[in-house]
Structure 1
């Protein structure tokens, strides 16, 4: 799907569900990482994360557009457009827009490997996510030398 097709879909959904025109621009933003879409307060444009469309399809994309259009129309009308506002919650329920989008499978990071260190003197064990420079750091209990054990 190209930006022009996204623009047409957004305009169509705006007229069908909200009975109001979408007079600004909707486009894909490849820099979005943690969100499905974003409504820009100053320009009134809507940016959509293309990865959600590629991974979850048109239904997920339509849900994201509905959500962003709720922000758009309420902001233009001067009503509560933020997630916590009752106007926003009411309109989302009315048009069937999701509160959150489905998480991306590819973006989930693998769990950090835990590094284990043990003191040579008192046998105290330390677990760390980041590597510890054993030439600079010593045991916090007895100041003994640390050795990586796993």
Structure 2
């Protein structure tokens, strides 16, 4: 499937389910990593993660398009288009749009690989903190007692 076919399919879904035309652009964005798609508030365009099409096929893409079209149409109408809004939840239920997309198999494999973890300890109260990223110990202090932090261990697959 290319961007032109994606555009035509989205226009058809918009007319049949929402009874309104989709008048902006939809296209695949290879840089999207963890989300199936996103609606851009400024340009009103929709971006779709191409890996979802490659891993799950057209049915998953149709669900993502329905979800993003809910954002699109509600935003253009000036109604609640965010996930927390009642208008959004009701419209999603009406058109059968999924709340979340299926997690990517390739992303799940990535996240299970061993990662470098850091273990910090408060020099005052001995509270321990595990972090995936390094912490600037000159800037941050213990959340419990405001004591200074020190790096205890840095390793791969720390448990």
- TM-score over 0.5 for the pair: yes
Partner of 2:115: 112
Partner of 1:22: 22
2:94 and 2:33 map into 1 onto residues whose CA distance is 28
1:27 and 1:112 map into 2 onto residues whose CA distance is 33
1:64 and 1:32 map into 2 onto residues whose CA distance is 13
- 5+ residue gaps, structure 1: 116-126, 131-145
Partner of 1:134: none
1:48 and 1:9 map into 2 onto residues whose CA distance is 13
User: Root-mean-square deviation (CA), in Å?
Assistant: 2.5
Give secondary structure in 2 for the equivalent of 1:47. strand
Indicate how the Cα distance of structure 1 residues 45 and 112 shifts in structure 2: closer, same or farther if over 3 A, else same.
same
Q: How many residues align?
A: 124
1:99-141: CA deviation from partner (whole Å, max 9, x where unpaired): 00000011122243779xxxxxxxxxxx9979xxxxxxxxxxx
* Deviation >4 Å, runs of 4+: 127-130
Give secondary structure in 1 for the equivalent of 2:106. coil
**If the length of structure 2 is used for normalisation, what is the TM-score?**
0.71
